[in-house]
Amino acid sequence: MTITIVPEWYADLLRHLEIFFPDTLPLYNLVWGKFNKDLPWNGIEFVADRWPQPRVVLCRPLQEVLRCGRRGYACRQVCPYTITIWSSDDNILREMLQHHKTIEWDQEIMFHGLSCPSPLETVNAVCQNLGSTTGSDESWCTDVYELKSENLPVCSTDLPSGFVLTTLTQKYADQINSEWYYGGGTATREYLLDILDPNRKNYPSAAVVETASGRAVSYILYEAEGNFALGYTDPDYRNKGFFRIVNYSLAKTMFARGRKIIYVQVAADNDASRNTYMKLGGKRINNWKQHWLLYTPHSLNPQDTCYHVLNFVKASQSN
């Protein structure tokens, strides 16, 4: 059995989730955005195993959004059906996932930002009984660094002549989609168009743009889960401090909007990003790693999946 959390409970839910930081940060920020009407991700709902004092909370797309074909409104990152989970009890989580009304298992599902090893192991086990998964091995786990306003040093945002510090707009969606490691698909493009649309989500971002070409040579974006993501610097413009500048600018923006903690995922081998965040006062969160898991049901043609599209795009780019 699951209980849908109504908006009147959001304040109590936020206080409950704070107790379990940092594991609850992704869900906390999704709830915070809707409760405060500040960068909310519309088209989602929250369900729990019980109320009050839930032991499992899950964020899923609203069915009416999916049924009316507004996939872009439901897509968070690479998949239109994206799930975010926090759990303090693996057995209860397993029971919830196995209940046929909790999740629609007949489609591809992205489990976004799972804590590992738990609840990753539980989610992966349930998925394996119903289909197949991509990304279940340890190499997909990322370290997590936190940025806090009190630790953010004052940094110069001066740029060389020919470059400007600005924000991203929809005209950059195709560029970002092609440079994003997990981008290149229709769903990822819809996601970018959605979050960069000034009349829809209009999520904050920061970019260094070369004025002559109009190209964003370094950038970072904010996501609904409260993290920075999709960070990228063109190889020809690295080691110039651009990535530090865009992250510093966006951090200042988010702290001014009332966010207390910003977190970022850093791959184990990405020393450049790690060094950037440490220079900005970032600290690694001990005993917390994040993971992404892509589930595909046995009934789905592999040629129709997000993962197939991503692999095809990556193979094309490497040739």
Cis geometry, peptide bond prior to residue 160 (ω within 30 degrees of 0): no
pLDDT at 153: 97
Domains of the chain, each with CATH number or no CATH: 3-141+290-318 (3.40.630.30), 146-286 (3.40.630.30)
* pLDDT exceeds 60 at position 33: yes
Question: Per mean pLDDT, which range of 84-98, 145-159, 160-174, 297-311 is the poorest?
Answer: 297-311
Q: Can you list the positions of beta strands (E) in 34-121? A: 44-48, 56-61, 82-87, 109-116
Report d(CA 80, CA 98) in Å as an integer.
21
Provide the pLDDT confidence category of residue 315 given band limits of 50, 70 and 90: very low
pLDDT at 257: 93
Q: How far apart, in Å, are the Cα atoms of 93 and each of 73, 98, 120? A: 26, 9, 11
Higher pLDDT, 301 or 75: 301
Token pair listed for 319: 């040739």
Q: Which of 238, 237, 240, 252 is nearest to 205 (CA)?
A: 252
Report d(CA 16, CA 135) in Å as an integer.
30
Secondary structure of residue 257 in the 3-state scheme: coil
* pLDDT exceeds 60 at position 239: yes
Q: Is 42 exposed, middle or buried (0-12, 13-18, 19+ CB in 10 A)?
A: middle
Higher pLDDT, 85 or 77: 85
pLDDT at 73: 52
C-beta separation of 145 from 283 below 8 A: yes
């239109």: which residue's tokens? Answer: 80
Q: How many residues in total does the chain contain?
A: 319
C-beta separation of 180 from 232 below 8 A: yes
Report d(CA 227, CA 147) in Å as an integer.
10
pLDDT at 305: 64
Q: Is 55 exposed, middle or buried (0-12, 13-18, 19+ CB in 10 A)?
A: middle
* Average pLDDT of span 74-94: 87
Q: Which of 186, 182, 189 is nearest to 229 (CA)?
A: 182
- Half-sphere exposure of residue 195: CA atoms within 13 angstroms, side-chain side: 29
* pLDDT exceeds 70 at position 183: yes
C-beta separation of 204 from 222 below 8 A: yes
Cross-strand partners of 46: 59
**pLDDT, tens digit, for every residue of 189-238?**
888 999 999 988 899 999 999 999 999 999 999 999 999 999 999 999 99
* Average pLDDT of span 156-185: 95
Query: Percent of the chain beyond pLDDT 90?
Result: 71
